[in-house]
Amino acid sequence: MRFVVEIGKEWLWDDVPPRTIELDGAVAGPRIDPDGQRYSFDHHARCVRLATGAACRQVLDALLLGLDPRGFTVLLNDVDADSALAAWLLARRDAALAPGALPRTRAVVAAVGEADAHGPAYPLERPGLFFGCLDALGPALAARAAGYPNGGDAA
């Protein structure tokens, strides 16, 4: 799996090559092209926010339904708790879906997905899971604030 991080870039759906996964706004709107194996897991544009789960929720659902991301290119245009968790799920699919880990994976995805999709006014069932993810992202968020580089260094 290859990760491409270009901060602030929005790719056009028609320009994205086969076997590409776009996360959290890298391409506007949630879209699926099963023939070209292209997947946009987005909840920001061209969707109803109350009816569309966060990117990490969409990715977990796709993995549970059989998506095998090995050999794909993953496009990101920012790093936050939602996109980082979605990328981790793709990169560590087997660990995330392992029978002993799956309940915890679901709980973390629910916490991050609810907070990211609905904002701070949304009452979280397990806020510690969300804030734990934010703590784990500390170095990445500090790098983002400092204007981090593109590509592999950002990943």
Q: What is the largest CA-CA distance in the chain?
A: 40
Could you read off the pLDDT of 62-85 as tens digits, one per residue? 999 999 999 999 999 988 889 999
Nearest Cα to Cα of residue 6 among 94, 16, 14: 16
The angle that helices 127-136 and 138-145 make with each other, rounded to 10 degrees, is 60
Task: Write down the pLDDT at residue 153.
Answer: 45
Query: For residues 43 and 58, what is the distance between their CA atoms, to the nearest angstrom?
Result: 9
Task: Write down the pLDDT at residue 43.
Answer: 87
Task: Write down the pLDDT at residue 154.
Answer: 43
Residues 76-112 as b or e (16 or more Cβ within 10 Å = b):
bbbbbbbbbbbbbbbeebeebeeeeeeeebeebbbbb
Tokens of 62: 């796709």
Task: Write down the pLDDT at residue 142.
Answer: 64
Query: For residues 132 and 12, what is the distance between their CA atoms, to the nearest angstrom?
Result: 33
Average pLDDT for runs of 10 along the chain of length 155 = 93 97 94 96 79 89 97 93 92 95 92 80 75 69 59 44
pTM comes to 0.83
